[in-house]
Amino acid sequence: MADEKLFSGIKAGAIELKNRVVMAPLTRNRARAEDDSVHELQAQYYAQRAGAGLIITEASQISPQGKGYAWTPGIYSEAQIDGWKKVSEAVHAEGGKIVIQLWHVGRISHYSLQQDGGAPVAPSAIGAKAKTFDGEQFVETSEPRALGIEEIAGLVADYRQAAENAKRAGFDGVEVHAANGYLIDQFLRDGSNKREDEYGGPVENRARFLKEVMDAVVDVWGAERVGVRLSPFSDANNISDSDPQATFSHAIKLLNSYGLAYLHLVEGQTGGPRDIPEGGDLKALYELFDGAKMGNNAYDREMAVEAVETGAVDLVAFGRPFISNPDLVNRLEKGAALNELDPTTLYGGNEKGYTDYPALAEEAVAAE
């Protein structure tokens, strides 16, 4: 076994991890079309990757309204809870740990994906001018309507119920998705939040929705089994803020007060360059948080080892390498070559490009 710290155990809150390599949340669009539930294929997929210290599931909508893409899973119905229970049991049987990422897309949706063809919701009625997938093609996101203040408590209740459902499904914890231009991020950023009530204006108000969601989820799970994902310097889904350093400094100070399991930061652009814009200071943001710090974005083995050894982060999340390498941790430990990713099978489909990537042992047998 490699002796680098990356491959040593760590306790993230109350979650005991066998190593510091995390499988990042990866949307794969393979939920059942009829009810947005996962099934045996997902159980196999995640179990294959249980060598990770922690698996974070693909983003899962907390309600029908929270859906923004075709064939993404939910965590609000009995069928969905039952499907996710198969996944958590399969991962645990392989000695892994798994949390579910709780998601509401806000304005990143389309009328055809909403109940009764309604408008997506957002803090303010400002279109994202982004794209989503409706099951047939990529389409422009629909114009959202601004949430009434009386609706926000209902959204918080949806997060609470989703957290309770995740507990019933046997997860080890939950991650609140507050990144990448989705609903919580839309509230945080002044480019998408132009409200004039207690949820808009100064950053203290814009962070109010995040706080209320965290209060609800932590009440269900206890802070030590809750993580949060932020993307301070990403403009994913055309999100923007006039002073992201100040906005996310406030948000992280708020999150630090809970004693969470971990803070998960997208470093730079989501799925893009790691560059931090002028005026941004990623190190300063990490230093505001006292718990386990998880870095994410285009890490390779060398970068991950160095980041953990130097204490820049405690955990490193890998995304696409986990898709094509179910035994990624073993390969990283051994310094072995990685399987090449087939980009044509990333989204939608069946087992091809999903559960059929070989592990090292399988490759060795095939080569004999």
Q: Phi-psi bin for 61: left (phi > 0), alpha (psi -120 to 50), beta? A: beta
Q: Is 58 helix (H, G, I), strand (E, B) or coil?
A: strand
- Cα distances from 125 to residues 102, 106, 194, 244, in angstroms, run 23, 11, 9, 21
For the residues of 144-207, what is the DSSP string, one character each?
A: PEEPPHHHHHHHHHHHHHHHHHHHHTT-SEEEEE--TTSHHHHHH-TTT----STTSSSHHHHT
- Spatial separation of the C-alpha atoms in residues 215 and 203, rounded to whole Å: 18
- Cα distances from 60 to residues 183, 242, 365, in angstroms, run 13, 29, 37
Structure-token pair, residue 156: 């918080």
- Spatial separation of the C-alpha atoms in residues 325 and 340, rounded to whole Å: 8
Looking at this protein, which amino acid is placed at residue 240?
S
- Cα distances from 232 to residues 9, 267, 324, in angstroms, run 28, 8, 28
Which residues form the catalytic set? 182
Other residues' Cβ atoms within 10 Å of the Cβ of residue 360: 16
Beta-sheet pairing, 10-12 with 262-266: unpaired
What are the residues whose beta carbons fall under 8 Å from the beta carbon of 9, sequence distance 6 or more? 16, 17, 18, 19, 53
* 224 phi, psi to nearest 5 deg: -75, 0
- Spatial separation of the C-alpha atoms in residues 222 and 225, rounded to whole Å: 6
- Cα distances from 102 to residues 182, 188, 217, 226, 283, in angstroms, run 11, 17, 10, 11, 26
Structure-token pair, residue 287: 């230093």
